[in-house]
Amino acid sequence: MAKYSAIKKHIYDKIATGEWPEHHPVSSENALALQFKVSRMTARRALQELADEGLVLRTKGSGTVVAPIKSQTSFMAIRNIADEIRGREHDYHAKVHVLRREHADDHVAEMLNKQPGDMVYHSVISHFENNLPVQVEERYVNPDLVPDYLQQRYDQMTPHEYLCEVQPLTEASHQIEAVMPSHQLCQWLQLSRPEPCLRIQRRTWSAGGVVTYAILTHPGSRFSLGGHLQFS
């Protein structure tokens, strides 16, 4: 294990076991460097990657603390939300609101490279972390590429898992924006009042063409984007 990875694991374990709750101070760069017998730069890298992932908050002059627990994801990767939540050792479950065939409107047809009025599959699913909804996933699926999409149990596996099995992804595009949720979204997200939400619109391709167009909506108070880039 790389030295900075050992530091990250040490802090992960402290957070996962609850020994370090939200807002708990995290050891300083100097203290970690001394504890793990590494350079301060190595310790800084570990803390910065944890900050990029949204697990800690770093404030100049105030040090580093454990971040409030939120749903965290990266805009640089497509991940299975169930795996993300379970990776934090939290409980995951899903609730299916919509699963049906319908005619594509102009916008959906354009996103799936179909004609307006063509038949598409439509699903809406809430994803829960510790019994709190952290994402509403609205997805339109090309039935020519995924003919059995409606026959799956999405309370037992996510659409992401199923689609990766039957149509491995070759390409994806994202559009990220801040929105105010509709009344229906507030109900699905169990929001007592509307609050700013982060919406990710995503198109995915396989070798056969456009597979899905998805709209992923997260309440701002329960979600953060993070990631870490390494340049050669």
- CATH 1.10.10.10 domain range(s) in the chain: 3-66
Return the pLDDT at 226: 65
Candidates 1.10.101.10, 1.10.10.1100, 1.10.3680.10, 1.10.10.10; correct CATH number of 3-66?
1.10.10.10
Q: How far is CA 63 from CA 5, 36, 56, 129, 183, in A?
A: 20, 19, 10, 29, 40
Alpha-carbon span 204 to 223, nearest angstrom: 22
Per-residue pLDDT of the chain (232 residues; tens, 9 = 90+): 678 889 998 998 888 788 998 889 999 999 999 999 999 999 998 998 888 777 888 887 788 999 876 655 655 567 789 988 888 888 999 999 999 999 999 999 999 999 999 999 999 999 999 999 999 999 999 999 999 999 999 999 999 999 999 998 888 888 889 999 999 999 999 999 999 999 999 999 998 899 999 999 999 988 776 665 555 4
Return the pLDDT at 232: 43
Alpha-carbon span 75 to 91, nearest angstrom: 23
Tokens found for residue 150: 């409606």
- CATH 3.40.1410.10 domain range(s) in the chain: 71-225
**Nearest Cα to Cα of residue 117 among 103, 128, 101, 96:** 103
Alpha-carbon span 29 to 172, nearest angstrom: 37
8-23: burial string, b at 16+ Cβ within 10 Å, e else: beebbebbeeeebeee
Per-residue pLDDT tens for 39-87? 999 999 899 888 877 788 888 778 899 987 665 565 556 778 998 888 8
Alpha-carbon span 78 to 174, nearest angstrom: 10
Return the pLDDT at 75: 56
Return the pLDDT at 103: 98
For 109, residues 6+ apart whose C-beta sits below 8 A from its C-beta are: 115, 116, 117, 118, 120
Tokens found for residue 127: 């994803």
**Nearest Cα to Cα of residue 132 among 171, 91, 170:** 91
The CATH architecture assigned to 71-225 reads 3-Layer(aba) Sandwich (3.40)
> Helix, strand, or coil here: 37?
coil
Return the pLDDT at 138: 98
Return the pLDDT at 106: 94
Secondary structure of 98-135 in the HEC alphabet? Answer: EEEEEECCHHHHHHCCCCCCCEEEEEEEEEEECCEEEE
Return the pLDDT at 98: 97
In one letter, which amino acid is 168?
P
